[in-house]
């Protein structure tokens, strides 16, 4: 009985150690962990671009575009949180994390600008769409780099 208890205790300690911060994640694991929030951010920027263009073309109303952009602000918050709380194992992971943070924060800025435009403030439509496109390109480029590592 005592042996069983000791074994159970050791198993619990091993499990807890496995959950500890700074686990020995491989480069592939790190790339995979950062890809998900980047894809989430790309999806948010894609939606924001569509909502903005629809309003610009007179095919949508300001309330719908504003709501769509607000929802994407929340999606980007989640993505930024996931990237910011990621713990890199080495210098490569830390560099990817910094690039990902920059890309997601740029996306947040572009979507916030688009929302300002939709509500009658800020730059013109062309500048807002250009910023969203640039943000989408940066996110896609980083995702492609990480996909090369994961083989995805």
Partner 1 sequence: MKRLLGVALGILTAIGGFLDIGDLVTNAVVGSRFGLSLAWVVVVGVVGICLFASMSGRVAAVSGRATFEIIRERLGPRAAGANLTASFLINLLTLTAEVGGIALALQLASSVEPRLWIPVAALALWLVVWRTKFSTMENVTGLVGLTLVVFAVAVFLLGPDWSELADQAFSPAVPAAEGHAVYWYYAIALFGAAMTPYEVFFFSSGAVEERWTVKDLAQSRLNVLVGFPFGGILSIAIAACAAIVFLPAGIEVSSLSQIVLPVALAGGKLALAVVIVGIVAATFGAALETSLSSGYTLAQFMGWSWGKFRRPAQAARFHLTMIVCILVAVGVLMTSVDPIKVTEFSVVFSAIALPLTYLPILIVANDPEYMGEHVNGKVTNALALVYLVIIVTASVAAIPLMIATGAGS
* Binding positions for partner 1, rule: CB under 8 A: 39-40, 42-43, 46-47, 50-51, 54, 58-64, 66-68, 70-71, 75
In terms of CB distance, is 50 or 101 closer to partner 1?
50
| DSSP 3-state of 123 | coil
Q: How far is the CB of 21 from partner 1 (least distance, A)?
A: 20
CA distance 77 to 65: 18
Nearest to 93 by CA among 14, 25, 140: 25
Q: Taken in order 27, 23, 39, 81, is the CA torsion positive or negative?
A: negative
CA distance 15 to 100: 30
In terms of CB distance, is 91 or 120 closer to partner 1?
120
Kindly provide the b/e burial profile for residues 44-60, where b requires at least 16 CB atoms within 10 angstroms of the residue's own CB: bbebbbebbbebbeeeb
Q: How far is the CB of 133 from partner 1 (least distance, A)?
A: 13
Q: How far is the CB of 78 from partner 1 (least distance, A)?
A: 9
Q: How far is the CB of 27 from partner 1 (least distance, A)?
A: 21
In terms of CB distance, is 8 or 62 closer to partner 1?
62
In terms of CB distance, is 68 or 83 closer to partner 1?
68
């Amino acid at each position: 009985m005592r042996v069983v208890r000791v074994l159970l205790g050791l198993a619990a300690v091993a499990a807890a150690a496995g959950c500890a911060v700074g686990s020995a994640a491989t480069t592939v694991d790190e790339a995979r962990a950062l890809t998900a929030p980047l894809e989430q951010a790309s999806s948010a920027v894609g939606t924001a671009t569509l909502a903005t263009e629809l309003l610009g073309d007179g095919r949508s109303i300001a309330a719908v575009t504003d709501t769509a952009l607000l929802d994407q602000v929340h999606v980007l918050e989640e993505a930024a949180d996931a990237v910011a709380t990621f713990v890199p194992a080495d210098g490569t992971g830390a560099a990817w994390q910094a690039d990902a943070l920059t890309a997601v924060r740029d996306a947040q800025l572009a979507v916030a600008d688009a929302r300002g435009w939709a509500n009658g403030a800020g730059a013109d439509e062309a500048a807002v769409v250009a910023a969203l496109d640039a943000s989408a390109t940066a996110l896609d480029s980083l995702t492609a780099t990480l996909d090369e590592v994961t083989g995805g």
